[in-house]
């Protein structure tokens, strides 16, 4: 099959592809707000109709929440499953948007043309790069290059409560040779990437209580224990002077980075000072003896995400609070077990409580890290295909965040995920004025066409 003809078709059809994306972006499919349930249904219906226009057998599947969209195309060669999500984040604060978030527009900026609107980068624009690549294949060849299953979710931005049950109930239908996920980004504007390492996540909330009411600091200060002081001591003890986390057995299952991958990351030329300088910082604050890129991609972390207690209003109130609280998250790597870490963290906190203090814990999710074996020749074939489209060669990279769907494919279905995305760090996903570069959209389509050709053989 001619790849050049497909790439040419993508080029000539760019304006029409942008128009189709704009139509999808106009649907305010906010999954976290029940008021937008009908709009989420509408987005799913739109995707079903669009897939059907490509000859895909597509259906909208009901769940206890928002529907899934599943489509199938039969063919020879490998079976590829493509995942994306059609739901988007809320738009608040609305006053910080330069235009209506659901009235998308292509804008000229100092850095080039961008698609401005909620969902343009996360994830509707990324999702449509693959659909449009398939559209070009169908237009040129009358068929798609291999067997493909399309799997679109409507609850990714609200924690995916229906996802795992749906995958378990439909495991046979969704099992494929590879799961392609377009919800990641470029390493930079010139270097495409295949993400092969994802950190897991553990969330903990704790509240320390002492007296049965807030106390006057003049009457009780010195004699009464202050929960904020206790909480502060516990938080301060979570790291040592080398930046290592002190929770017992925290580093069980943490692997050292292979030298080959460390060398490849070094060749990326990551500038830590420039990276941190962009947010008015200067020095990496993680574990010593590890580069900033390793600290972000391949090392585990412990961070305080919120802390409160006592009086925080205007003026001053001399009070000893009855309780103090904090939210703490752990990013995990390798084979770290989030449930074991949760128990060890809670035991550590309990062991540091002085007399008259109690603690209450609330868990906020627990997911393991994901690391995907790149020894399969398909990974190198995809990397070379991406390299042919972009100025610099593609790289296998890590990701400091967590993408649970990738782990679900691996653990629930036994399907190897391949994460390829074209977002940029300045896309402002989840924030006002979200955008997706027209170049990312255009070259993303061309990239998927090349990857499909490489994987289909």
Q: CATH number of the domain that 245 lies in?
A: 3.30.70.360
Residue 270 in domain: no
Phi, psi of 388 (to 5 degrees): -70, -20
Model confidence pLDDT, tens digit, residues 234-250: 999 999 999 999 999 99
pTM for this prediction: 0.85
Model confidence pLDDT, tens digit, residues 193-244: 999 999 999 999 999 999 999 999 999 999 999 999 999 999 999 999 999 9
Model confidence pLDDT, tens digit, residues 245-269: 999 999 999 999 988 888 889 889 8
State whether 337 and 396 are in the same domain. no
Would you state the structure tokens that stand for residue 455, as one six-digit string? Answer: 């994987």
Q: Cβ-count burial of 313 within 10 angstroms (0-12 exposed, 13-18 middle, 19+ buried)?
A: exposed
Model confidence pLDDT, tens digit, residues 290-348: 999 999 999 999 999 999 999 999 999 999 999 999 999 999 999 999 999 999 999 99
Crossing angle, helix 438-456 and helix 3-12, to 10 degrees? 160
Residue 293 in domain: no
Would you state the structure tokens that stand for residue 377, as one six-digit string? Answer: 């020749």
Taking the C-alpha atoms of residue 334 and residue 24, their distance in angstroms, rounded to an integer, is: 38
Q: CATH number of the domain that 84 lies in?
A: 3.40.630.10
Model confidence pLDDT, tens digit, residues 105-145: 999 999 999 999 999 999 999 999 999 999 999 999 999 99
Residue 337 in domain: yes
State whether 331 and 229 are in the same domain. yes
Residue 361 in domain: yes
Residue 90 in domain: yes
Would you state the structure tokens that stand for residue 325, as one six-digit string? Answer: 């609280």
pLDDT the model gives residue 365: 85
Mean pLDDT of the chain: 96
> Which residue in 188, 186, 386 sits closest to 270, CA to CA?
188
424-444: average pLDDT: 96
State whether 332 and 247 are in the same domain. yes
Q: Cβ-count burial of 79 within 10 angstroms (0-12 exposed, 13-18 middle, 19+ buried)?
A: middle
State whether 104 and 91 are in the same domain. yes
State whether 350 and 376 are in the same domain. no
Is a pLDDT exceeding 90 seen at residue 401?
no
Residue 55 in domain: yes
State whether 183 and 107 are in the same domain. yes
Per residue, the 3-state secondary structure of the chain, as one string, reads CCHHHHHHHHHHCHHHHHHHHHHHHCCCCECCCHHHHHHHHHHHHHHHHHHHCCCCEEEEECCCCCCEEEEEECCCCCEEEEEEECCECCCCCHHHCCCCCCCCEEEEECCEEEEECCCCCCCHHHHHHHHHHHHHHHHHHCCCCCEEEEEEECCHHHCCCCHHHHHHHCHHHHCCCEEEECCCECCCCCCCEEEEEECEEEEEEEEEECCCCCEEHHHHECCECCHHHHHHHHHHCCECCCCCECCCCCCCCCCCCCHHHHHHHHHCCCCHHHHHHCCCCCCCCCCCCCCHHHHHHCCCEEEEEEEEECCCCCCCCCEECCEEEEEEEEEECCCCCHHHHHHHHHHHHHHCCCCCCEEEEEEEEEECCEECCCCCHHHHHHHHHHHHHCCCCCEEEEECCCCHHHHHHHHHHCCEEEEECCECCCCCCCCCCCEEEHHHHHHHHHHHHHHHHHHHC
**Taking the alpha carbons of 103, 138, 67, 442 in that order, is the dihedral positive or negative?**
negative
- Widest Cα–Cα separation across the chain: 84
State whether 60 and 95 are in the same domain. yes
pLDDT the model gives residue 184: 94
Residue 265 in domain: no
Span of 40-44, 145-149, 407-411 with lowest mean pLDDT: 407-411
Output Rg (C-alpha) for the chain, integer angstroms: 24
State whether 152 and 178 are in the same domain. yes
Model confidence pLDDT, tens digit, residues 10-26: 999 999 999 999 999 99
Question: pLDDT-based confidence at 278, cuts 50/70/90?
Answer: confident
pLDDT the model gives residue 1: 60
Structural domains counted in the chain: 2
Question: pLDDT-based confidence at 371, cuts 50/70/90?
Answer: confident
Q: What is the dihedral of CA 223, 229, 230, 232, to 10 degrees?
A: -170
Of 351, 367, 383, the one marking the end of a domain is 367
Three-point CA angle 370, 334, 281, nearest 5°: 90
Model confidence pLDDT, tens digit, residues 185-196: 999 888 999 999
Question: pLDDT-based confidence at 403, cuts 50/70/90?
Answer: confident
Structural domain that includes position 120: 3-198+370-456
State whether 176 and 35 are in the same domain. yes
Residue 287 in domain: no
- Report the percent of the chain where pLDDT is more than 70: 100
Of 331, 349, 367, the one marking the end of a domain is 367
State whether 8 and 21 are in the same domain. yes
372-378: average pLDDT: 90
Taking the C-alpha atoms of residue 111 and residue 107, their distance in angstroms, rounded to an integer, is: 11
State whether 35 and 77 are in the same domain. yes
Of 316, 338, 367, the one marking the end of a domain is 367
State whether 142 and 226 are in the same domain. no
């Amino acid at each position: 099959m001619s790849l050049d003809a497909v790439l040419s078709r993508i080029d000539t059809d760019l304006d029409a592809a942008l128009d189709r994306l704009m139509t999808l972006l106009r649907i305010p499919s906010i999954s976290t707000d029940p008021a937008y349930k009908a709009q989420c249904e509408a987005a799913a219906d739109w995707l079903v109709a669009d897939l059907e226009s490509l000859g895909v057998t597509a259906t909208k599947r009901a769940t206890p929440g928002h529907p899934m969209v599943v489509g199938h195309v039969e063919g020879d060669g490998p079976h590829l499953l493509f995942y994306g999500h059609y739901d988007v984040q809320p738009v608040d604060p609305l006053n910080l948007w330069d235009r209506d978030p659901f009235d998308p527009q292509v804008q000229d900026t100092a850095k080039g043309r961008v698609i401005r609107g909620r969902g343009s980068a996360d994830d509707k624009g990324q999702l449509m790069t693959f659909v449009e690549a398939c559209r070009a294949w169908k237009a040129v060849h009358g068929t798609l290059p291999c067997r493909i299953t399309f799997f679109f979710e409507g609850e990714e931005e609200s924690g995916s409560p229906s996802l795992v049950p749906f995958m378990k109930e439909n495991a046979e239908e969704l099992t494929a040779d590879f799961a392609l996920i377009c919800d990641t980004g470029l390493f930079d504007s010139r270097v495409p990437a295949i993400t092969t390492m994802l950190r897991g996540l553990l969330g903990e909330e704790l509240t320390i209580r002492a007296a049965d009411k807030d106390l006057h600091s003049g009457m009780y200060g010195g004699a009464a224990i202050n929960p904020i002081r206790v909480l502060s001591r516990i938080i301060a003890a979570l790291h040592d002077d080398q930046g290592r986390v002190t929770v017992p057995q925290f580093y069980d299952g943490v692997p050292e980075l292979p030298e080959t991958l460390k060398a490849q990351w070094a060749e990326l030329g990551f500038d830590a000072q420039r990276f941190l300088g962009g947010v008015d910082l200067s020095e990496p604050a993680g574990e010593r003896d590890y580069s900033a890129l390793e600290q972000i991609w391949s090392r585990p972390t412990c961070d305080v995400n919120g802390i409160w207690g006592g009086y925080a209003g205007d003026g001053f109130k001399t009070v000893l609070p009855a309780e103090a609280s904090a939210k703490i998250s752990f990013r995990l790597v390798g084979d770290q077990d989030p449930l074991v870490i949760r128990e060890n963290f809670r035991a550590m906190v309990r062991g540091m409580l002085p007399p008259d203090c109690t603690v209450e814990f609330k868990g906020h999710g627990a997911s393991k890290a994901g690391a995907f074996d790149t020894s399969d020749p398909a990974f190198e074939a995809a990397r070379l295909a991406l390299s042919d489209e972009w100025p610099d060669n593609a790289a296998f990279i890590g990701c400091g965040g967590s993408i649970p769907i990738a782990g679900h494919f691996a653990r629930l279905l036994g399907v190897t995920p391949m994460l390829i995305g074209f977002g940029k760090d300045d896309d402002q996903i989840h924030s006002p004025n979200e955008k997706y570069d027209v170049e990312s959209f255009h070259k993303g389509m061309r990239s998927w066409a090349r990857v499909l050709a490489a994987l289909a053989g």
